[in-house]
Structure 1
C-alpha cells in the first residue's frame, strides 16, 4: 500500500488542473482535486467564456442598426441587462456541473475546500484535515491586480462585471490590455458611456503596432473615449453610490463603475509555498522547469500560476503534459512557439508569430504583405470600419514569421491559418491556394 493518501493532489480545479487530474486518474493514479469556489476555473466561471457571451450580446446594437440596409426593421428594440446577465450565469452553472461530472466520471475525488501546502507531500484543508500525496500539482491560476491609490477600493475587477445589478450609464476602464479593451467594447456596445484610461501611450503591448493603431481608430469612432498617458489620483464615492474619479490633476469625472483591468497576478498568496520551500519570482509566479516541476521534486505547477504564458489552451496542454510525464512514463513538454492569441475587442484582433518590430529585430530585413479593406457586410451596411490583415515574411526563405489580423471573425479565420504558420509554410504556399470567394478569409491568399 502507498504511504500517501493520494498519488496526486491537485490544488485548483481550473482548465489545467482538471485536465491533469482526469488524465492522471485514467492512468491509474489515485487523484483528489481541491477547489475553494467552483469547478471550472477562471476561464469558465469568471473569464473567457462568460466574457465572450457578453461580447456576443453587445454586437446586437450594431447588427440591429446594420440590418436596416438589409431590409429589416424593428420597432423600439430594448436591451435588458438582467436577462442577459442571468442567462450567462445560468450557462456558467451548466459548465460548472459539466466539469464536475467529468471529474466524477474519471474517479477524481472533488474536495470543495481551500487547500494549503504544509510540506513537500502534505496539504491542509480549510476544515482542518491534513492529507498527504506523492505529488502535489498547483493550478490555482491568477487573480486581477488592482493598483493602490486613495479610493482604489471602489474599483471593480473583471470578476465583478458579470454580477452588476444594473447596466452602468458611465464606465471608466483602467488598463490597455486585452481585458480592458474587451470590456470597453462590451459596455460601449451595450450603450454605456465608456472611457479607457491607460497609464502609457501603448495599448495591447505585444501585439503588432499596425493592429493596435487600427483598434484605437475604430474604438474612437465607435464613441469610446481613450485617454493615454493618464493616471488616477483618487476616487471618491458619493452618497448616491456614484464615483468621482480624479485623473492627471484634472477636475473629477463622474462614473457609475470604474473597472481595474491592469493585469493579473498569480494567486499564490496564502498558498503555503514557503512551507515546502517552493521558489517564486518577484511577481509571485511559481518557477518551473520544462516539465512543470518546481525546485521541490514532488511539487509541480501549471497554468497562470507559473511564470509562463497565461492562456487557457496553454494550461490545458501543460496539464496534459504533466500527466503524461508523471503517470504515463512518457515525458512531454509544451511547445510555446507560435501560440495564436486573440483579443475579442470590437472588431476582434487575432495574431500568431512575430510582430513586424520583433521580426525586424531578429531577422533584420523582412517583407511585409498586407490588405487594408472594408468587409463586404460593412460596405453594404454603410459602415466605414476597415479591416487589416498583415503577413511578415523572412526575405530569403519566404517563410511566414507572423500573421496579424483585425476585423470581423478574425480569430475564427486565424485558427486555421495558424496551423500553416506553425508548420513553417511559405508565402508561396498561400499564393498557390485558390481563394474562397466571396469571403474575408480569401484576403490571406491574395496578400500583396
Structure 2
C-alpha cells in the first residue's frame, strides 16, 4: 500500500515505540505513509531504556575490575582505584536520555507523530487512546515487546526485583540471589560479581543457557564460578522473606539463603495484556504472543505484529529487521521476509559468549554427519596478566558438503568475532573457505582459520597424519603458535 488511504485518519498506527516499532514507523513514513506511533512509557523500548544498552554499559563497568587487576602484569601500577555505583547509574541514565531524545528526533524527521499515551485496539481499524481519543488506521502494527516474567506465585515473590528495577537501584547490593539460568540471569550475575557483589545463582536445571551448545553451557558455568559466582543447581525458590538486612530465600530442598536483594530472571513474556486483541479476534499462541505469518500479519488482515510480542526470536536486531520488512512489504514496492534461521547472538558475561548457527546436538538431530573442530587455549594477554580464563572455539561442519553449520566461542571479544563469522555463514562458507583465509597474527580470531585437526567427536576419524614416502614430519606451525600463546615450549 504505497498510496495514502484517505478513508482513515492514518495509513499506519504503531502501538509501541521500541526498536521494531520505531523502525517500522520511520520506513513506512519514508514510503509516503501517514504514521502515528503510541508509547506509554519511554521512546526506545526495552533495549534502549532498560535492556541491552544500559546492561552493556554496566558490563563495561564490571570489566574494568579485571583490567585494573591485569594491568600489573604489564607494568602498570594502579593504586586507589575504587568503584562508585551512583556515578555509574547517573552516567547511564544520562546516556539513555540522550538516546531516547535521538529516537524521538529521528521519528520527527520522518514526519511520524508520537503520542505519549497507552493505546488499545477497538476494532480492526480503530485504536483508542488512554484519554478516550479514537484514531482510525488502514493498518495497525503491534510492537509492544515483552516484559520480565513475574508469573511466579509463591509467598513473598513480590519482594524480588527484575531486570527493570536493577537498573535503578540507588545502591549496589552487597549480595544478591538471582533465580534463572538464561541470558539475563547470567549477564547480571557476571557483571555484579565483577563489581564486587556476592552472587548466588539459583537454577532449577542442571546446566545454564538452555539451547546453547553443551560445551558452551558447561564451560561458562565453570568460568563464572572461577570469577566468584556461586551456583545452586536443581533447586527453586519456594518463598522470600524480608529480614532487617535484606531477604531470606527458602529453597525447595529445605535450605535457606540470605542476601540483600533477590532478582527474578526467569524469562520474559509478550506484552499483549490489555491491548484488546481478544475482542477483535487476533489469535495468540500458548505463551500469549501474537501469532503471525512470515510477513508478520496476524489472524486479522489489517493487524500486524513484530518483535518480542510475537515471541519468534526475542532479540533487538530481529525486531528491527522485522519492522523494516513489514514497512517495505506493506507500504513499499519491494516485499521481503526475514530469515530467522541464522542469527548471531552474544551473551555478555565475563568471559563473553558468541554463537551462530547450529549446535552439535541440533546438527546431529537434523541428520548431519559432522566434522567437529575445537581449540582451547590460554590467550596471549593472559601470559602476562596471570588470568586463568581460557578461550574456547568450536566449528560444526557438515561432512558431506564441508559447509560450516555453526560456530561457538567463549572468550574476550567473542561477540565482535561472531558478528563477522555470521557474515561467512550467511554466505554459506565452507571449512575450506575458512582454511584458505589468511590468519591475522597475533590475534584470538586467527584460531578460527587455522583449525586443521578434527575432534574425536567427528563422525569419521581424522586423516592419517604420519609421514609418507619417507618424508620428514612436517612442523604444524599453527599448533606451534597456539602453544606459544599457552606459554608452552613448542617442540619441533
TM-score interval for Structure 1 and Structure 2 normalised by the shorter chain: over 0.9
Compute the displacement of 1:85 (Å).
0.6
Q: What residue in structure 2 maps to residue 260 of structure 1?
A: 264
User: 2:370 touches 2:396 (CA, 8 Å); kept in 1?
Assistant: yes
Structure 1, unpaired ranges of 5+: none
Matched, 1:308 2:303: no
Q: What residue in structure 1 maps to residue 462 of structure 2?
A: none
Q: What residue in structure 1 maps to residue 191 of structure 2?
A: 186
Map Cα deviations across residues 291-336 of structure 1 (whole Å, 9 max, x no partner): 1000101000000000311111011110011111110132210011
In 1, Cα distance between equivalents of 2:428 and 2:226: 37
Matched, 1:222 2:227: yes
User: 1:237 touches 1:244 (CA, 8 Å); kept in 2?
Assistant: yes
Map Cα deviations across residues 412-448 of structure 1 (whole Å, 9 max, x no partner): 0111111111111110111111110000000000113
Compute the displacement of 1:241 (Å).
5.4
Matched, 1:424 2:428: yes
Q: What residue in structure 2 maps to residue 170 of structure 1?
A: 175
Q: What residue in structure 2 maps to residue 326 of structure 1?
A: 330
Instruction: Describe the SS at the equivalent of 1:29.
Output: coil
Instruction: Describe the SS at the equivalent of 1:24.
Output: helix
Matched, 1:155 2:160: yes
The alignment of Structure 1 onto Structure 2 pairs a total of residues equal to 447
What TM-score do the two structures reach when normalised by structure 1? 0.98
Q: What residue in structure 1 maps to residue 137 of structure 2?
A: 133
Q: Which has the larger radius of gyration?
A: 2
In 2, Cα distance between equivalents of 1:326 and 1:437: 48
Matched, 1:203 2:229: no
Compute the displacement of 1:189 (Å).
0.4
Structure 2, unpaired ranges of 5+: 454-492
Compute the displacement of 1:285 (Å).
0.2
Q: CA RMSD in A?
A: 1.0
Map Cα deviations across residues 342-400 of structure 1 (whole Å, 9 max, x no partner): 11111111111100001111134211001101111112111111110000001111110
Q: What residue in structure 1 maps to residue 300 of structure 2?
A: 296
After TM superposition, which residue ranges in structure 1, 4 or more long, deviate above 2 angstroms? Answer: 248-252
Map Cα deviations across residues 71-124 of structure 1 (whole Å, 9 max, x no partner): 111222111000001100110000000000000000000000000111101111
Matched, 1:234 2:230: no
Compute the displacement of 1:247 (Å).
0.9
User: 1:340 touches 1:351 (CA, 8 Å); kept in 2?
Assistant: yes
Instruction: Describe the SS at the equivalent of 2:63.
Output: helix
Matched, 1:349 2:349: no
User: 2:269 touches 2:287 (CA, 8 Å); kept in 1?
Assistant: yes
Instruction: Describe the SS at the equivalent of 1:309.
Output: coil
Instruction: Describe the SS at the equivalent of 1:76.
Output: coil
In 1, Cα distance between equivalents of 2:296 and 2:350: 35
User: 2:439 touches 2:446 (CA, 8 Å); kept in 1?
Assistant: yes
